[in-house]
Structure formats: C-alpha cells, structure tokens
C-alpha cells in the first residue's frame, strides 16, 4: 500500500499539469495543484453508503472478472467526490486488487472521467460531423463568448467547465450540448444563450429538444406509423391451424 502510494506520489504532478488528453483540446490547463497539498487536502474514501454499493457491484462479477466493476466504481467515486483525485484511483484499485496505474489509464481514456477539479456544470459541446452540419460551430462560439472560456477551461467561480467533445449518440437532434448527465438538443444560438443564462442562475432546465420537437420525430411530420398500430397478436390467429374441438 505504502509502496503504491510512493509510486503514485509523482502522478498528480503529471496528471494535473498535463494538458487534457482530448483530441479537440487546445487550451492550457487551469489547475496546477501541488502533489503534497493534494494528498493533505483531498484524501478520498468511499462513504458508508457508496462502500456498500461498491461491494455489491463487485459481488455481481465472478472473482476472476472483478475488474469488470472498474467503470461503475470510478463513476461512483466521481459522483461522490465531483472528480477523480489520485487518491480515488488508489481506493478503486485497492478494492479491485488492480495496479493503480491500470485504473488511472482507464480513467484517463474516458472523457466522462475528470482527473482535475471541474465546475458545477460541465458542458460538452458535440463537434462531430452531423452536429457540425447542423451548426455546432456557432453553438461553440456562443458558449465561448458567453462563458468567456476556451476548450478545457473552468471558470474561476467553478460554475462552468467547457469542453468540445465527439458524438454523444444524439445526432438526429444535433446540435447537442451535454450538461453533466443530461443532453440539450436541437439547439440554435438563441436557445443556447437561453440555456446558458438559466444555468448561470443555477437552474437546471428540463433536458431534451429545445425547439419544436417532442423527441426525435421528423420535423416535416410523420413519414411512417401513420395509422393506429394493430393490437397485440394481430394476424396470429389467421396463421395458426384451426383448433380442433375436443
């Protein structure tokens, strides 16, 4: 345990001072924390409730495959702490009996995990082709201008973190911004400004399409499912052989 901590002692310096590893990231990191202070101030331990959750998650995997619980455990740690300090990486590694570096590599790979402190609202703007065709560049510029942030930066008051990201699987509703766990879709510049001002005043508006759609139905009206669907079992009785009377 102590040897592991010693080996990890150098990691925060590397993790926290390195630029965020995201293909679209161009800005310098804002957080340059000192490793010693980090250990003093940001000790991590699962609280009682999350410890039980973590143990349950681990118990759902057979012993040789317990590393399967790695992603849910990292998520749990991040939800408890807000981001993943190196001490949380260590705690997860100990629970799963994995090398801390393996856990760190996984956390570093997925953009959903934050290895640095982030703002209360983490905004991820999709910059992949379908959203681009629907005007995400304008949405991005609006976010930059309103929040006065560049890619990867966090506001001084720790309210916002802004990042450009890749497809989030809601292409049919592009352009899309993810705010923490929720997706805000069908955005244009006025709707983005409205969303940002709501977030600035601490309000988390309802997620989903922000314009004239309920979900992802075509704007021009339905093109299929135009009639009432037949009831369950439709056509089955005609196809099956007639039952013989007893």
Binding site for ligand FES (CB under 6 A): 126, 128, 130-131, 167-171, 174, 176
Q: With respect to ligand FES, which residue has the nearer C-beta, 9 or 166?
A: 166
> Shortest approach of ligand FES to residue 216 CB, angstroms?
11
Of 20 and 174, which has the nearer Cβ to ligand FES? 174
Query: Considering beta carbons, is residue 96 or 139 the nearer one to ligand FES?
Result: 139
Q: Which residue has the tokens 């989030």?
A: 168
Residue with tokens 């202070």: 37
* 136 annotated as a binding-site residue: no
Residue closer to ligand FES (CB basis): 74 or 179: 179
Q: In angstroms, what is the minimal distance from the CB of 137 to ligand FES?
A: 12
Closest CB 178 distance from ligand FES, rounded Å? 9
If the CB atoms of residues 30 and 132 are measured against ligand FES, the closer one turns out to be: 132
Nearer to ligand FES, 130 or 135 (CB): 130
Residue 246 marked ligand-binding = no
**HEC readout, 122-165:** EEEEECCHHHHHCCHHHHHHHHHHHHCCCCCCECCCCCEEEEEE
Of 6, 8, 2, 31, nearest in space to 18 by CA: 31
36 labelled binding-site residue: no
Is 167 assigned to a binding site?
yes
The least CB distance from residue 75 to ligand FES, in Å, is: 21
Shortest distance (Å) from residue 136 CB to ligand FES: 7
- CB of 187 vs ligand FES, minimal distance in Å: 11
Residues in the chain: 246
Please enumerate, by residue number, every residue annotated as part of a binding site for [2Fe-2S] cluster: 126, 131, 167, 171
Please enumerate, by residue number, every residue annotated as part of a binding site: 126, 131, 167, 171
């Amino acid at each position: 345990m102590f040897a592991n901590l010693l080996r990890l002692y150098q990691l925060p310096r590397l993790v926290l001072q390195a630029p965020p590893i995201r293909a679209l990231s161009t800005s310098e990191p804002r957080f340059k924390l000192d490793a010693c202070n980090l250990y003093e101030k940001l000790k991590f331990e699962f609280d009682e409730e999350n410890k039980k959750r973590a143990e349950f998650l681990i118990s759902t995997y057979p012993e040789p495959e317990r590393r399967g619980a790695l992603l849910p455990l990292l998520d749990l740690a991040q939800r408890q702490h807000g981001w993943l300090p190196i001490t949380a990486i260590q705690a997860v590694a100990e629970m799963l009996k994995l090398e801390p570096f393996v856990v760190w590599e996984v956390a570093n790979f997925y953009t959903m995990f934050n290895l640095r402190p982030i703002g209360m609202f983490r905004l991820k703007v999709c910059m992949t082709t379908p959203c681009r065709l629907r005007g995400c560049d304008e949405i991005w510029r609006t976010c930059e201008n309103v929040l006065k942030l560049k890619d990867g930066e966090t506001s001084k008051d720790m309210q916002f973190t802004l990042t450009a990201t890749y497809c989030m699987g809601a292409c049919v509703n592009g352009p899309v911004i993810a705010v923490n766990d929720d997706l805000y879709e069908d955005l244009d510049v006025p709707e983005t400004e409205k969303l940002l001002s709501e977030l600035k005043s601490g309000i988390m508006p309802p997620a989903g399409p922000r314009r004239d759609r309920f979900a992802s139905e075509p704007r021009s009206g339905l093109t299929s499912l135009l009639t009432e669907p037949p009831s369950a079992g439709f056509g089955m009785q005609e196809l099956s052989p007639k039952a013989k009377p007893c």
